[in-house]
Amino acid sequence: MSDEAAPGGVLRLRGREFGPGSHAVMAVINRTPDSFYDRGATYDWGAALAAADAAVASGADIVDVGGVKAGRGAHVGAAEEIERTAPFVAELRARHPEVVISVDTWRAEVGRACAEAGADLVNDTWAGADPDLARVAAEAGAGLVCSHTGGLAPRTDPHRVHYADVVADVLETVTGLARRAVALGVRPDRVLIDPTHDFGKNTYHSLELTRRMGELAATGWPVLVAVSNKDFIGETLDAPVEQRGPGTLAALAVSAWQDARVFRVHDAGAARAALDAVAGLSAPAGGGRRV
């Protein structure tokens, strides 16, 4: 990798900088009727706007807009996904010009429409399933999240998945996708890597990734952590989805302590408080907050 493409510096999105040691909160807004967590609570336009406004007021740095449920469910075509996301992104951009806006999609045409509407980041949670999505990010000057699914296709579930070393597999995949993104023209300071807990993984794998998060941070690429209320937390704590808040905050704290940079969450206020506590606890004595 050339010096120009070398990771390890500051993440820059929409004129904002998130350096090593800082913690950016990414608030989830699901414009879907069947989200695993909120079960359609922000599908309605007004409810989604209210949730986004509240998240920003609670300390969210990034708002991540999704138009398709990650797991199995009713088919949603690209045109419908665009209708659910792009106009909403445009409205968010008008309401919150300073906030970083992300779109959660694996489709190039959706990424392009949302970038044109004002999105700053393409959150590809399906590991480059559409190889043109990285080109869209490059052409739009947007950032890109590079993820790992173990070869799983979009909206499918893992079955008896096995890795000799899940962390090694994740590292190889996400750093390879990051290098490809840079080669295609995405700026290195706009690329993140995401181990993508539960996607193509069982609970053991997601726990192992959480324990060894520092190995991903050591690559120099900013790490995005998306663990909020996920199944591995529920299975670990024997907790239904509505009772996974404390486990989520614990996983965020463990990840933040190991230098993860961006945290995708359903409760922006609670995450902001927990991450600020981690920053304070990890600051050198007498040195104030680590930023």
Check 84, 201, 230, 261 and give the catalytic one: 230
Three-state secondary structure call for residue 30: strand
Q: What is the CA radius of gyration of the chain?
A: 17
Please give the Cα distance from 176 to 235 (Å, whole number). 31
**Contacts of 159 by beta carbon, 8 Å cutoff, 6+ apart:** none
HSE-up of residue 54 (Cα within 13 Å, Cβ side): 14
Q: Is 264 a catalytic residue?
A: yes
Q: Which residue among the candidates 84, 107, 264, 272 is catalytic per the annotation?
A: 264
Give the pair of three-digit tokens for residue 187. 């700026």
Question: CA of 270: how far to CAs of 87, 252, 274, in Å?
Answer: 28, 11, 6
Please state, in angstroms and rounded to a whole number, the distance separating the CA atoms of residues 144 and 207: 25
CA distance 66 to 84: 8
DSSP, residue by residue, 75-112: ---HHHHHHHHHHHHHHHHHH-TTSEEEEE-S-HHHHH
* DSSP label of 222: P
- Region of 71 please: left (phi>0), alpha (psi -120 to 50) or beta: beta
- Residue 153: both structure tokens together: 């296709």
Verify whether residue 230 is a known catalytic residue. yes
Q: Which of 6, 31, 3 is nearest to 117 (CA)?
A: 31
d(CA 178, CA 286): 37
Active-site annotation, residues: 230, 264
